[in-house]
Structures are given as C-alpha cells and as structure tokens.
Amino acid sequence: MILSIESSCDDSSIAITEIATKKLIFHRKISQELEHAKYGGVVPELASRLHAVDLPKLLEEAEPFLNDLKAVAVTNEPGLSVTLLEGVAMAQALSIAKDLPLIPINHLKAHIYSLFIEKEAIFPILVLLISGGHTMVLDVKGYDEIKVLATTMDDSFGESFDKVAKMMGLGYPGGPIVEKLALQGDSKKFSMPIPLQNSPKLAFSYSGIKNAVRLVVEANQPLDEETKADIAASFQKAAIAHLMQKSKKIFKELKPRNFAIVGGASANLAVRKAFTNLCEEFDCNIHLADLAYCSDNAAMVGRCAVDAYELKKFISALDIEVQPRTDVI
C-alpha cells in the first residue's frame, strides 16, 4: 500500500491506496475553508499552522495501515511553499523512520488522476484543468507525456469566481456560492466581455471579465439581492463561454475521442453541462471525476502515486524540495 499526503493549499488530506488493485482503501480530509473564509481568501501562515495540527490527526487515523506500506507519496509542487512543506516534512519523517521509498507528486498531475480513482485509466485524453490556480487544456498521453496546449495569461477560472464573490461580499470560496446564486439570476442582465474572442491565440484570460464585474458592482451600489444574482449569472455565462470558445478550437483541431474536466472548479454543473453538449457535438466521450475528488484530496495523489511507483519515480528523503510553481506537469 501507498500512504499519500496532500497539503498544497487549504486541505489537509491523507489516503491509503493498494498498489496491486489501485484501490482506495482509506481517505480522510480536513478542509480549512471556514477558517480562511473570515479573511476572504487563504492566509498561507494560518494554513501552514493548521496543516501542522491536522495532518498528525489524520495520520493517527491511518495507523492500522502503517505497517503494510511499500511507499510514501506527497504533493511537493505546485502550491504554497509553507503549506507544501508541512506535508513534505511528514513524508520525509515517515520515509526515514520506516525506510520507505518516497514519491514526489505534482499536484496538477494528481488532479488528472482524480479521474482514475474509481475508473480504469484512459490515455490519450484531452483534459481541461480548472482550479484555484490554473486554467489549462492538456494533451495527456501518459504519466510522463503531458503537453500544455493552452493556459491562462492572468487569473485562473476558479480564482475569478473567488474574486467576484469577494467583490460582492459573498464569502469564500466563491465558486460554489456564485454558481448557486447564478441559478436565480438573469444572465442577460449585464453584458460581460468574452476575453480573446477575436484573437486566434490559444490562451485564457480572466482579468477582463473580473474588471467588467468590478465596474458593474461599483455602478450598482448598494447591491440588492436580485442584482447580485444577475451579476453572478452574467459573469458565469461569460466565464464559461470563454472556456468553451477556446476549447472548441482545440476540439476542431484534435478531434479527441476522450475528454475530461478536472480541478476544484470542475464541480460546477453549468461547466459540466456546457462541455457535455460540446462533447456530444464532437462525438467524444466525456469523463468527470466524482464530486468528492474534484477539490484537493489525497486520494488523487495516491492514485497518481501508484503509477509513479510502477515507474520507480522515487527520491531520497534528503533531496525532496518544494516548488511553488512548475512548468512541467
């Protein structure tokens, strides 16, 4: 079995995955969302302290499996340095004390593997990764064959939901709040620009929509509930239209047989619906992870680590480093 640890942002999580069957045996997660909500976003120092308190609690729960381990895996990039370090320190200690191989895991690769926790792995697959820090279209052919086809030039998709929610004083994280509010609003009420609409560039940009929302928010003070819902609906419609427009270009070119959406924002039902329709149009199979595995978790890290274990992607406990940003997935 492999013990996996996730602490790249504001979720502390530990999982146990069986190597031979790739099956998830144990999975626990403590989310810090409520603690950070007071500040309208993640406070790295607080997140780090909470990981230091919560990870040992989760490890204690995993105690029955600790004598059956063949390796320890940990997210070491990308993420917040001070929170990644908490998971890495625990993994180093376990690796040294129990003489186990250590597997460093890229968090974005782990998001891709969230698809394969309960299903057989499928390659090649075109993947849209939408999360708090990233907006990417990836051509995934295997563990070590991941090509970035498009990425964001500024804010990420999830981040734009967080910022829009903050502007309207709705709380954190903004994604689920804005999605829910949008259901009650009129998406035609405010016209929002669709970024890079006339550009051939295969890239995303969310700062323009965010600024358009800021102007509408400022022009409609004080915001009543109906206006907030209309802003949420208008924003979400433009944000998804942008994802769709650029993805459609890639679909036309690559004609993928398999497509997936991963990352925290892949929980958004309007996104799921829009891409289900796009896949129907292109006669492509759509793959979506269980909602429980969209946001950060150690189950996806463990599933990713099984493939890494088979490829012997080990590192010495004294050599592992954390990287806040990564170019290669």
Binding residues for substrate: 129-133, 162, 175, 179, 268
Q: How far is the CB of 165 from ligand ATP (least distance, A)?
A: 8
Say whether residue 216 binds ligand ATP (CB under 6 A).
no
Q: How far is the CB of 236 from ligand ATP (least distance, A)?
A: 8
- Near ligand ATP by CB under 6 A: residue from 179, 232, 233, 299: 179
Binders in 268-307 for ligand ATP, by CB under 6 A: 268, 295-296
Q: Binding-site residues, please?
A: 107, 111, 129-133, 162, 175, 179, 268, 296
By beta-carbon proximity to ligand ATP, the closer residue of 258 and 323 is 323
By beta-carbon proximity to ligand ATP, the closer residue of 78 and 195 is 78
- The Cα–Cα gap between 83 and 323 comes to 11
- Near ligand ATP by CB under 6 A: residue from 265, 288, 304, 322: 265
- The Cα–Cα gap between 271 and 182 comes to 13
Q: How far is the CB of 100 from ligand ATP (least distance, A)?
A: 26
Q: How far is the CB of 173 from ligand ATP (least distance, A)?
A: 4
Q: Considering CB distances under 5 to 8 angstroms, the limit depending on partner class, which of Fe ion, ligand ATP, none binds residue 267?
A: ligand ATP
By beta-carbon proximity to ligand ATP, the closer residue of 108 and 317 is 108
φ and ψ at residue 266, rounded to 5 degrees: -70, -5
Segment lying near ligand ATP (by CB under 6 A), choices 44-52, 225-233, 261-269, 318-326: 261-269
Size of the site for ligand ATP (CB under 6 A): 26
The residues that touch Fe ion, with contacts defined as CB under 5 A, are 131, 296
- The Cα–Cα gap between 161 and 178 comes to 7
Closest residue (Cβ) to ligand ATP? 264
Q: Considering CB distances under 5 to 8 angstroms, the limit depending on partner class, which of Fe ion, ligand ATP, none binds residue 162?
A: ligand ATP
- Near ligand ATP by CB under 6 A: residue from 4, 13, 131, 247: 131
By beta-carbon proximity to ligand ATP, the closer residue of 69 and 84 is 84
Say whether residue 159 binds ligand ATP (CB under 6 A).
yes
Kindly write out the interface string for residues 96-125 of this chain, putting x where it contacts ligand ATP by CB under 6 A and - elsewhere. Answer: -----------x---x--------------
Write the CA distances from 194 to 191, 209, 233, 249, integer angstroms: 9, 7, 14, 15
Q: Considering CB distances under 5 to 8 angstroms, the limit depending on partner class, which of ligand ATP, Fe ion, none binds residue 205?
A: none
Q: How far is the CB of 6 from ligand ATP (least distance, A)?
A: 9
Amino acid, res. 320:
I
Q: Are 9 and 296 a contacting pair, CB within 8 Å?
A: yes
Say whether residue 51 binds ligand ATP (CB under 6 A).
no
Q: Which of 154, 208, 157 is nearest to 178 (CA)?
A: 157
Which residues, 6+ apart, have CB-to-CB distance to 248 below 8 Å?
278
Residues contributing to the site for ligand ATP (CB under 6 A) = 8-9, 78-79, 107, 111, 131-134, 158-159, 161-162, 173-176, 179, 263-265, 267-268, 295-296
